[in-house]
């Protein structure tokens, strides 16, 4: 693992998780009022959880160390071992969470392919396994908003409502991995409550575009959060003076949401520049928030090698499989950085095309 020092000077577009806390956050960490949160006595954690529940218009909330743990806790708390859960085939839970919902929650994933990250309610209905002697009974539907592998695409409130109708009809719970739900809310200029009102429960991350160093929050009704608190303890996620995590979280909720619009503007600008480069294919319809996923299959180079070349030029991106590359804008990335990044992509693709000739 490289130390952050060695990345100074790089334009780091790998993820919005690389954001560092603001000065104000560091100051808040230093001054946070603390207590033992396993005893429910950390006033800063309690304040953040109350704020989060209110913002999402749910009864209660729970601070957890990571988005992955938030998803695992939520799936576990919404199901029992031997159940099945419908989720989008390209979702983070299905791809990047080490199979935790199977290995730990004992839940069988039923992947449904979506369009731009959004599952069709009819496909959800078709995937449901009813209570039959042979079946892992379906009790949960999980959606992801914004959808990471689809390119940061938004699941609109109307689409969530349509999915919730099917879930309700069959008595299933609806959970939202809302790691970047504020990006969705800012992109559509719609209050976040519109996205949360049709789901039973959700999680969102403090440690992505909102710039906190650590933390995600699970939100839902009181009974669900009580269960989640117990599951968090089972997983070893009960934290003591967790106010040092909660203090920057409070600042994130108060001050860091509106600026996501800058990230979206920069992502759009970068995507449009990339779309003009010969050999790069970007589906601009998917560029709705702070991510850009582009195809390089016309360049006869793997995404891994492409990303390595870009790194030589001072730009960091992520390869997603063989020919797909992802870039993410975030606080600390300015217009001039995305301009430079586009120039560097142009240089690398030119080099590749010349090699091919
Ligand atoms: C949609 C989504 N859900 C969950 C996570 C997991 O979050 P964490 O990295 O904090 O475990 C991520 C991380 O990028 C994500 O993009």
Q: Give the alpha-carbon dihedral of 183, 188, 194, 199, to 10 degrees.
A: -50
Nearest to 15 by CA among 328, 314, 259, 277: 328
Judge contact between 186 and 290, C-beta under 8 A: no
Distance 2 CA to ligand 1 centre (A): 21
pLDDT at position 1: 44
Q: pTM of the entire structure?
A: 0.97
pLDDT at position 353: 79
Distance 355 CA to ligand 1 centre (A): 37
- Ligand 1 pocket, residue 95 CB under 6 Å: no
Judge contact between 112 and 163, C-beta under 8 A: no
Burial class, 102, CB count within 10 angstroms (exposed 0-12 / middle 13-18 / buried 19+): middle
CA–CA separation, 38 vs 266, rounded Å? 41
Distance 92 CA to ligand 1 centre (A): 7
Distance 91 CA to ligand 1 centre (A): 10
DSSP 19: P
- Ligand 1 pocket, residue 290 CB under 6 Å: no
pLDDT at position 94: 98
What are the helix (H) ranges across the chain? 23-31, 43-56, 67-78, 92-96, 100-103, 121-127, 157-169, 181-188, 192-196, 222-234, 243-255, 260-275, 303-312, 335-356
CA–CA separation, 286 vs 221, rounded Å? 33
Q: Which residues of the chain have pLDDT under 70?
A: 1-5, 356-357
What Cα–Cα distance (Å) separates residue 179 from each residue in 64, 145, 251, 315? 13, 7, 17, 25
Q: Is 206 helix (H, G, I), strand (E, B) or coil?
A: coil
Nearest to 219 by CA among 64, 65, 104: 64
Which residue's alpha carbon is nearest to atom 4 within ligand 1? Answer: 67
Ligand 1 pocket test: pick from 96, 97, 214, 326 the residue with the most ligand atoms within 8 Å of its Cβ: 96
What Cα–Cα distance (Å) separates residue 150 from each residue in 65, 191, 263? 25, 23, 17
Run of H or E including 205: strand 201-205
- Name residue, tokens 């520049």: 273
- Closest approach atom of ligand 1 to CA 180: 1
Which residue's alpha carbon is nearest to atom 7 within ligand 1? Answer: 67
CA–CA separation, 111 vs 113, rounded Å? 7
Ligand 1 pocket test: pick from 18, 63, 68, 213 the residue with the most ligand atoms within 8 Å of its Cβ: 68
pLDDT at position 6: 72
pLDDT in tens, 6-24: 788 899 999 999 999 999 9
- Ligand 1 pocket, residue 177 CB under 6 Å: yes
Distance 179 CA to ligand 1 centre (A): 6
């Amino acid at each position: 693992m490289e130390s952050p020092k060695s990345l100074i000077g790089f334009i780091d577009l790998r993820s919005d998780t690389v954001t560092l806390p603001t000065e104000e956050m560091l100051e808040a960490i230093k001054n946070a009022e603390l207590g033992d949160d396993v005893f429910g006595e950390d006033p800063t954690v309690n304040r953040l959880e109350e704020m989060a529940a209110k913002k999402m218009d749910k009864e209660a909330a729970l601070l957890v160390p990571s988005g992955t743990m938030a998803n695992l806790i939520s799936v576990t708390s919404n199901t029992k071992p031997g159940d099945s859960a419908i989720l989008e085939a390209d979702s983070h839970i299905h791809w990047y969470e080490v199979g935790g919902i199977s290995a730990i929650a004992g839940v069988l994933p039923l992947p449904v392919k979506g369009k731009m990250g959004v599952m069709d309610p009819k496909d959800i209905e078709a995937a449901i396994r009813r209570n039959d002697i042979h079946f892992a009974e379906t009790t949960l539907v999980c959606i992801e908003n914004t959808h990471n592998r689809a390119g940061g695409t938004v699941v609109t409130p109307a689409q969530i409502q349509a999915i919730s109708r099917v879930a309700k009809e069959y008595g299933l719970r609806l959970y939202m991995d809302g790691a970047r739900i504020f990006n969705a809310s800012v992109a559509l200029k719609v209050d976040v409550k519109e996205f949360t009102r049709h789901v039973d429960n959700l999680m969102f991350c403090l440690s992505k575009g909102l710039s906190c160093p650590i933390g995600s929050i699970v939100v839902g009704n009181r009974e669900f959060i009580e269960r989640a608190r117990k599951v968090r303890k089972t997983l070893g996620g009960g934290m003591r003076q967790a106010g040092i995590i909660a203090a920057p979280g409070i600042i994130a909720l108060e001050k860091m949401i509106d600026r996501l619009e800058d990230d979206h503007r920069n992502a759009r600008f970068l995507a449009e520049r990339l779309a003009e480069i010969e050999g790069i294919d970007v589906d601009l319809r998917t560029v709705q928030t702070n991510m850009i996923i582009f195809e390089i299959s016309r360049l006869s180079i793997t995404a891994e090698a492409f990303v390595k070349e870009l790194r030589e030029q001072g730009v960091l991106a992520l390869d997603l499989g063989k020919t797909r590359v992802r870039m993410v804008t975030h606080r600390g990335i300015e217009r001039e950085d995305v301009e430079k990044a586009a120039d560097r992509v142009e240089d690398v693709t030119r080099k590749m095309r010349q090699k091919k000739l």
